[in-house]
Structure 1
Amino acid sequence: MTDIVLNAAEDAERLRAPAGEYLVRLSGDQTGGSIAIVEYVFPPGALGAAPHIHHGHEEHFQVLDGEVTFDLADRAVAVGAGGTVSVPKGVAHGFRNASDDWARCLFILTPAGYENYFREIHRALERGEELDPERLARLRAAYDTVTLP
């Protein structure tokens, strides 16, 4: 990456999610693969991601609105707006919206690439395909991510 990248809010790539919506704010295509930023907006009671482990990238979260519950190896932690969670490669985690309000958070992915997983989910939903847990696990595996039982 040698040039400044400036994306207006309305330039976000909008992607359907099983619950809610992903907005790609900064893509690896724009950063030479160094980083991607994806916003996720999801409803009360929604599972954001079942427990999983990324082997190819770190994932950092910032809660923008509402409250997101992170399921970590030894505990569940509710994180409110402004809070951050940083998950290194190889560490199990999952997250959900256990609150009664919509939640909004950023995923900061280093290096980039996992935003393409969200694009694959979007394409499958647009084609009307079912995204059962087994299908999601296969999609994640293509991005060096293991879904846990």
Structure 2
Amino acid sequence: MGVGSTLWLKVTGEESLGLVIVVSGVVHSGGTPLRIHESEGEVVIVIEGELDYQVGDDRGALTSGGILWFPRRVPHAVANLSQEPRRFITVVTPSGIEDFFRGQRDYLTSGPAGHLPDPQRLAAVPGADLRRVVGPPLTARNERPNRVNIGAVPQAVDACRGAAYFAQIAPYVA
């Protein structure tokens, strides 16, 4: 999710018979790159603080109590652009992404502390092909956003941009 983020799986796919997963988290700063989920829809609920988001071409910010829907196959990202921790809950349907999170965590914790992840190995984590990175993480709203032609992003660029995101969150997924 971002630098120093922690995620907790509260409801797994096994517990919900494949319907959903529920994740509780804290993001200290930063966020996910712009990405597309081929198989899942996602709801983000801000519990404390403010999170910036992008869904398709729409940019905005949510404050405590705000709810956001990320439909499947629509580019989306969320970020904490402040230096204060922000708390959130995410509901993903159907389940399955938790196995991807665990695969990321397992790869990233297998190397020495502080090592840079290999983008090709991260892109090889089972399920990465269903959750493509298509752009960089969000920046401050007054900065010019990076525009990406989603159909033209090569797989190698996807993997490289995804490496920083995965390195930030995966070690903390239970």
Q: Aligned-pair RMSD on alpha carbons?
A: 2.4
What SS is found at the alignment partner of 2:108?
Answer: helix
Give the SS at the match of 1:30.
Answer: coil
Query: Tell me, which stretches of 5 or more residues in structure 1 are unaligned?
Result: 1-15
Mark the CA change 1:73 to 1:146 in structure 2 (over 3 Å): closer, same or farther. Answer: same
- Hey, what does 1:142 align to over in structure 2? 128
Aligned pair in 2 of structure 1 residues 20, 86: CA closer, same or farther (>3 Å)?
A: same
Give the conservation status (yes or no) of the 8 Å contact 1:65–1:104. yes
1:106 to 73, 86, 89: 89
In terms of fraction of residues, the more helix-rich structure is 2
1:120 maps to 103
Identity of aligned residues (%): 26
Q: Is the 8 A contact 1:70 1:78 kept in 2?
A: yes
Once residues 124 and 6 of structure 2 are traced to their aligned partners in structure 1, the CA distance between those partners, rounded to angstroms, is: 21
- After TM superposition, the runs of 4+ consecutive aligned structure 1 residues lying more than 3 A away are 16-19, 129-143
With over 3 angstroms needed to count, the CA separation of the structure-2 counterparts of 1:99 and 1:18, relative to structure 1, is: closer
TM-score scaled to structure 2, two decimals? 0.66
The question of whether the paired residues in 2 share the 8 Å contact of 1:114 and 1:143 is answered with no
Deviates more, 1:31-40 or 1:126-135: 126-135
Mapped to 2, the partners of 1:109 and 1:71 lie a distance apart of 17
- What amino acid sits opposite 1:63 in the alignment? V
- Superposition deviation, residue 118 in structure 1: 1.8
Deviation at 1:19, TM superposition (A): 3.2
With over 3 angstroms needed to count, the CA separation of the structure-2 counterparts of 1:83 and 1:132, relative to structure 1, is farther
Change (3 A) 1:102 1:32: same
Residue 41 of structure 1: which of 2, 15, 26 is its match? Answer: 26
User: Any stretches of 5+ residues in structure 2 without a counterpart?
Assistant: 136-174
Structure ranking higher in strand proportion: 1
Shift of 1:90: 0.9
1:42 CA displacement: 1.2
Give the TM-score of the pair, scaled to structure 1.
0.76
Q: Distance in 2 between matches of 1:127 and 1:59?
A: 29
Q: In 1, Cα distance between the equivalents of 2:107 and 2:3?
A: 10
